[in-house]
Structure 1
Amino acid sequence: MPEQPPYLVVADRLRQRIATGEWSPGDRLPSRSEIGADYQVGENVVRRAQELLIAQGLLEGRAGSGTYVAEPRERLRMVRSWCRDQRGGSPFRADMAGVGKRGTWEHRTEAKVPAPASIAARLGIGEGDPCVRTEYEFLADGKPVQLSTSWEPYSITGGTIVVLPEGGPHAGRGVVERMAEIGVVITHVVEQPEPRKATAHEAHLLGITKNSLVTHIQRTYMAEDGRPAETADIVIPAAHSEIVYEIPIDRV
């Protein structure tokens, strides 16, 4: 069999030292130059080994401080549920309360943003048509757990009390509840999940390494008249979360 690349060999040895208790959660690892000297490899090899273990959740990097053995982190349960959207209030906050965590979020909204071709196709509007775009960073007990970029056609919400998802009397409510306030009845939602690697920007916001695995969910809410009322790109780090779908069964 071919030999393993040097960074994988170093990663295995670092993993063994953690498993045997030589380094405990919270311990700071020696510098890359020290580890490189131990295994007779360059610092770039050590860096790649550490990045792999960070992506796997065994290590964590702290800017300006070094690399540490990560504290055990339970995977967060992220529920995708139609039942959830009908409870009222924020679906995310309700989900976090269900697992004993405080759900909050930060956001940035821009109005009348021209729809890119891909978004226009998902919303059934013309390329360049105005939309309200909102970028979200969702937090559980203050730690980032999910990103989302939402697009709503200005032709639906423009001039109404719900034009800004995080402004007005219905700020912070779910899409279903907000749209109902202006007579738009949401009948179903379409979600398309797929695995991919995190971009540098996503990794920075989520506190993970670039190219770590994430689940990208393309979500679109559909109104009863067949119009897409909102579409979003949701990004969830795979190592830190498990995604569960809750699907209601219609009774005969």
Structure 2
Amino acid sequence: MTFGEQPAYLRVAGDLRKKIVDGSLPPHTRLPSQARIRREYGVSDTVALEARKVLMAEGLVEGRSGSGTYVRERLQPRRIARSGYRVPPGTSTPFRQEQAEEGARGTWESSSVQEEADEETAARLGVETGARVMCTRYVFRDAGRPMMLSTSWEPLELTGRTPVMLPEEGPLGGTGVVDRMAAIDTVVDNVVEEVGARPGLAEELLLLGGVPGHVVIVVARTYYASQRAVETADLVVPADRYRLTYHLPVR
């Protein structure tokens, strides 16, 4: 193969991709069978199979047990806002605020449990490995469809035996980290977010309604009061359905 040439399976995948994008193969249409791909493109079974695998990994098609491979519906990615602007005191979390502005489409469920911090969580919070933390897991939904997972950890040496020990319960349950920490005289003054992407874990994709191999956006967020971490969280979002939009102040 010379420079610029594509392997046969990529050329086949590229042509099928074009047909999906231009509507020649509309959503819910069955993808040509492996035998048909072999005949129409003059390739081997191996090439036909690899081409189908490429389209599946790209999220353009999905396999249905006992039925075949079908073109997936291509949804217009929706925006998830991430703002660097300070919201007014008493405002709910950014997700709840944004959803309220769009007609209260969003719902969520959560559960909290005390855990011992593993090595990574301890490093992010600046506590000893094994220190007690409150772990809260969320599933956020957009019009009933799972859109984001979040797992947060807060050091119980800070919040334990206070009214804000449980993020979703008590007088400030469901409000943002900044307001909750202010209630215990802890002033949150900066936040760090690291954004990356990776294949979704099986349990994540099960909750999000994805298929194996789908890519997720992962935001590792940590709130600080001066140099002290008061909360750290992992946010997981399906990369094919949502985009993170950052609105930051210019100083």
Would the TM-score normalized by the shorter structure come out above 0.5? yes
Q: Structure 1 CA distance, aligned partners of 2:66 and 2:168?
A: 35
Count of equivalent residues: 245
**Which of 218, 221, 232 is residue 220 of structure 2 equivalent to?**
218
1:73 aligns with 2:75: yes
> Which structure 2 segments of 5+ residues have no match?
none
Identity across aligned pairs (percent)?
Answer: 43
SS in 2 for 1:120: helix
TM-fit CA distance, 1:151: 0.5
Name the structure 1 match of 2:151: 149
User: After superposition, where does 1:26-105 map in structure 2 within 5 Å?
Assistant: 26-29=28-31, 40-42=44-46, 44-45=49-50, 47-54=52-59, 58-60=60-62, 67-83=69-85, 85-86=87-88, 88-99=91-102, 102-105=105-108
Alpha carbons of 1:179 and 1:62: their partners in 2 closer, same or farther (altered >3 Å)?
A: farther
Worse-superposed segment, 32-41 or 44-53: 32-41
The superposition leaves residues 118-172 of structure 1 with CA deviations (integer Å, 9 ceiling, x where unpaired) of: 1111111111000001122222112222222100001111112221112233222
SS in 2 for 1:49: helix
Alpha carbons of 1:220 and 1:84: their partners in 2 closer, same or farther (altered >3 Å)?
A: same
Query: Given residue 145 of structure 1, which amino acid in structure 2 is its aligned partner?
Result: M
**Which of 119, 127, 137 is residue 121 of structure 2 equivalent to?**
119
User: After superposition, where does 1:88-237 map in structure 2 within 5 Å?
Assistant: 88-99=91-102, 102-111=105-114, 113-224=115-226, 226-237=227-238
SS in 2 for 1:228: strand
Query: Given residue 110 of structure 1, which amino acid in structure 2 is its aligned partner?
Result: V
CA contact (8 A) 1:11 1:52 kept: no
1:242 aligns with 2:233: no
TM-fit CA distance, 1:63: 6.5
CA contact (8 A) 2:132 2:156 kept: yes
Q: Structure 1 CA distance, aligned partners of 2:250 and 2:22?
A: 48
SS in 2 for 1:186: coil
Q: Structure 1 CA distance, aligned partners of 2:117 and 2:240?
A: 32
> Which structure 1 segments of 5+ residues have no match?
none
Q: Structure 1 CA distance, aligned partners of 2:108 and 2:86?
A: 18
Q: Structure 1 CA distance, aligned partners of 2:123 and 2:88?
A: 27
Q: Structure 1 CA distance, aligned partners of 2:186 and 2:67?
A: 51
Worse-superposed segment, 195-204 or 133-142: 195-204
Q: Structure 1 CA distance, aligned partners of 2:93 and 2:157?
A: 24
The superposition leaves residues 4-49 of structure 1 with CA deviations (integer Å, 9 ceiling, x where unpaired) of: 4454344223223334544322334456666567665258536513
The superposition leaves residues 189-238 of structure 1 with CA deviations (integer Å, 9 ceiling, x where unpaired) of: 111222333233333332334443333222111124x3211011122233
CA contact (8 A) 1:6 1:45 kept: no
Query: Given residue 48 of structure 1, which amino acid in structure 2 is its aligned partner?
Result: K
Alpha carbons of 1:64 and 1:130: their partners in 2 closer, same or farther (altered >3 Å)?
A: farther
